[in-house]
Structure 1
């Protein structure tokens, strides 16, 4: 996988408002928030998009969701939306798997 904006954040080459980090992942506030609380959870392992994940990534994928839940709780969210875009036509702009966690306002369905 080529270097991405998110790999540069992991390597601290680009600053980010990091709100959580462990050996497997990193969470930071979105620079273009779509809700009062909007952060991303990314794996440190470079996976371009969800459809590129393999069976070996199963525990990591679960970990990303659990971290999203824990950080949402720390941010005071009881209700929140979790979103993963997979591919350019699904609005994925950075090809490093990332989980959006958004809350602090009502959401509509379908999302758009």
Structure 2
């Protein structure tokens, strides 16, 4: 997928509207349009990389900033307790191949892990 076809690149460019929660020089966080929990915010790199493994390899400082932004959101909306989920690959549920984490309030998915 090219960056011109990537929905998150279009959100970063302002071509597609989103409900922005936090924005920094390197990261944008916005509400999921189909939330799976009362708090469901996507935290994405502004730079296009396909998944969290690529981000760790290519832009580790931005991946760290994404984690900091996730904590900031959780502090404001989840009493600091949250899940940060990265899906990598279609079999894992990744549908947008642009690195992003899902910030969700703690037990929203019913997982005990």
TM-score (norm 1): 0.88
Q: Deviations over 1:65-90 (max 9, x none)?
A: 01100111112433211100001111
TM-score (norm 2): 0.88
Tell me if structure 2 keeps the 8 A contact 1:35–1:102: yes
Residue 22, structure 1, aligned to residue 30, structure 2:
no
SS of aligned partner of 1:53? helix
Q: How many aligned residue pairs are there?
A: 110
Unaligned runs of 5+ in 1: none
Please give the root-mean-square deviation of Cα atoms over the aligned residues, in Å: 1.7
- 1:5 is aligned to 7
- 1:36 is aligned to 38
